[in-house]
Structure 1
Amino acid sequence: MSFKIKHIAYISTLIAIVLLAGCEQSTSSDISEATLKTMPLHMRELLERNTIPIHTTSNQDAIQAIPKNHPLVNDGFFTVAIISGNSPPITTLALDNKTPIGIEVDVARLIADSLGLKLKLIPTSWEDWPLGIDSGKYDAALINISVSKARKARFDFVTYRKDSLGLFVSVDSPIQKIESAKDVASQRVIVGAGTNQEKILLNWIDENKKAGLPETVPVYFEDKAMAILALEAGRADVYFVPNPSGTWRMENGAKIKRVGYLNGGYPKTADIAVTLKKNSELSNAIQKAVNGDIQNGKMYEVLHRWGLADEVLKHSEINPLGFGE
């Protein structure tokens, strides 16, 4: 993973600088020009390769599983929410600084191809995807969403890869490992609001309170580049994040190290899933599409090129046990 990832790091760094300056909208064209002028040729070539779409053939079993006259958000399209901004390898930007690429984009394309549909992407924030699904703004969301008991009460899920979480600290931190609640006592932990890692952290905080251990303070940053800077500057002690994102930054110049690794459903298992409106009629069709792409090797091809080949599932499931079960 590190060979591929390191060559794309330059782009992530440039975009992060603009995000930190708080002027992403007004300088997006400047980012692209600076990137093209200063990026080494081999970096451009690698990013261009990962921008090339990976397609699959239509899956007749999946197509036939779509109910007749089922209303799609956009006729003839599989409309999918992806995370906005720069969050490699989940989602990032191509050389033109506007075309979304990444794991979720590639997986969404495989599903669309399998269903005989075109793909329409809608960038959105983590906070907004639940309302977007409920309101029918898109057919599905692929935003590194793992299955949980609470989410299943509101949405349907079709799994497509394994979930993993990482705990990262600055390279000069005295923290050597984090495996359980006591290891975060007295620490300031960066975590995303509404995520499974936040739920794990809050459970740990309750556990430590009952044990009489020092307080843990959750720290919230919506922007990952800001979170890394806070960790490096000593304004936080631990960064609790999906492992792909944390590892990407660790291997691309961020002065951090990983001291903990958990399954996304800790203490049990949970997988990442296509998220749909509750009782969606597309669930069976999408499951057949994902299973077909697992069997024909296309899912491995996608995850491998983003450094996550070990997260390929043996098969897709609809609404399996998840976090909190």
Structure 2
Amino acid sequence: MPTHLSLRGLTRRGLIRGVTAATAVTTLATGLAACGGDSEAAAKTGSAGTVTVGQLSNGAAKETALKVSEVKSINAELPASVRKSGKLVIGIGALPAGTAPLNYVGSDQKTLTGSEPDFGRLVAAVLGLKPEIKNFTWENLFVGIDSGKVDVAFSNVTDTEERKKKYDFASYRKDNLAFEVLKKSTWNFDGDYENLAGLTVSVGSGTNQEKILLEWKAKLAKEGKKLTVKYFPDQNATNLALGSGRIDAFFGPNPGVAYRARQTARTPNPTRGAGTFSGAGASLQGLIAATAKKGSGLAKPLADAINHLIENGQYAKWLAAYNLANEAVPTSRVNPPGLPLDNS
């Protein structure tokens, strides 16, 4: 999980949209909390060779059926124990309440859905394995990997140099922060902190994005320019402030911004993403990665399966279904440079 995006922090800061879908989210949270931390909640793969992403997503995704076939040459790369088992045990750290659009209980109040478990199912299909989804708290997700209960985590885990001491990674998504503005706003972040001058921006307290924003504020102050930073108790209050014009923008994790843009599309105050910034800072593009036990032999076949999905178009369609196309990577890499030790 990114250092700026713990599941518990997401829940506390309200990145599950609460203004337009409060009732539905309460239902989802209740359903997920009732789901045992080690229980399987895997959606059924459709007809042979088809994986449907966005099922039961309660509006977080556009349901999309994708044709995915086993690649026997990649299956042959798997460790013998995994290949013989015929299944890929996928860990998700979504307890107690989950986070749309990443991982949460769907509209049937039992099936774990979201971009992360769906991508795990796509990768399993390429590997010719049956996906078995196990849901944990964030901390117990890593215990599951360590103990062998989990083959791989697809749970918005950031590649960091600290985590590389114990885990191998296969990257599959950019780890981005984003600015959220009203759709009618003409402002966009161009990658340079200078164009934040004169704005009022909200951010979550104690987050990595707050650290970045306050650094920009200090730089602007030295230049005699002003950036006002405001804090609100939860995401609902932030949404109201944005809708009423009390703030110009919100700065937070890109998946949450993308989710709210979809959820608010037909409301009086629709929002949009107004530019992204790497969660690892200006010098390194942060990456989200499939996470396996170090030395397990899974990282290469996982990366090869992801690259197969990229090359054949299913990857782009999966991201588009969840409004996350701006987090696409050109290729999956095994253990790429991660968030440095002094910031991880």
- Could you say whether these structures have the same fold, taking a TM-score greater than 0.5 normalized by the shorter chain as the test? yes
Any gaps of 5 or more consecutive residues in structure 1? 1-7, 29-42, 222-226
- The aligned amino acid for 2:309 is D
SS in 2 for 1:292: helix
- TM-score, with length taken from structure 1: 0.68
- Specify whether residues 187 and 62 from structure 1 end up closer, same or farther in structure 2 by C-alpha distance, changes over 3 A only: same
Report if aligned partners of 2:303, 2:332 keep a CA contact under 8 Å in 1: yes
Question: Which residue does 1:140 correspond to in 2?
Answer: 152
Give the aligned partner of residue 79 of structure 1.
89
Tell me the number of residue pairs that the alignment of Structure 1 and Structure 2 aligns: 287
Letter in 2 for 1:159: S
User: In the TM superposition, what is the alpha-carbon distance from 1:317 to its structure 2 partner?
Assistant: 0.3
AA aligned to 2:204 is: I
Please say if 1:275 is aligned against 2:301.
no
User: Which residue identity does 2:306 align to in structure 1?
Assistant: V
Q: Where do 5+ consecutive residues of structure 2 fail to align?
A: 1-16, 36-54
Is residue 194–residue 220 contact of structure 2 (8 Å, CA) maintained in 1?
Answer: no
Structure 1's 182 and 145: CA in aligned 2 closer, same or farther, altered over 3 A?
farther
Aligned partners of 2:216, 2:122: CA distance in 1, in Å? 42
Deviations 1:270-295 (A, max 9, x none): 22211112222111111111111112
Q: CA deviation at 1:304?
A: 2.2
In the alignment, is residue 245 of structure 1 matched against residue 256 of structure 2? yes
Distance 1:209 1:310 in 2: 28
TM-score relative to the length of structure 2: 0.64
Distance 1:323 1:97, change over 3 A: same
Once residues 320 and 195 of structure 2 are traced to their aligned partners in structure 1, the CA distance between those partners, rounded to angstroms, is: 35
Map of 1:84-163 to 2, 5 A cutoff? 84=94, 85-163=97-175
> What is the CA deviation profile of residues 150-181 of structure 1, one whole-angstrom value per residue up to 9, with x for unaligned ones?
2223321101223321144799x9x9969659
Identity of aligned residues (%): 25
Name the residue aligned to 1:264: 279
Contact 1:169 1:231 in 2 (8 A): no
Letter of the 2:118 partner, please give it. Answer: D
Deviations 1:84-135 (A, max 9, x none): 3453332344432322222212211111111111011122333443333223
Letter in 1 for 2:288: I
Q: Quick one: which of 277, 284, 288 aligns to 2:304?
A: 288
The 3 A distance-change label for structure 1 pair 132 and 26 is closer
Question: How far 1:204 sits from its partner (Å)?
Answer: 5.9
Decide whether aligned partners of structure 1 residues 161 and 155 sit closer, same or farther in structure 2, where only a CA change above 3 A counts: same
Greater fraction of residues in helix: 1
Cα distance in 1 for residues equivalent to 2:88 and 2:108: 24
Distance 2:311 2:72 in 1: 15
Question: Which position in structure 1 is the counterpart of 2:325?
Answer: 309
2:66 partner SS? coil
Q: Measure, in 2, the Cα distance between the counterparts of 1:217 and 1:240.
A: 10
Letter in 2 for 1:321: P
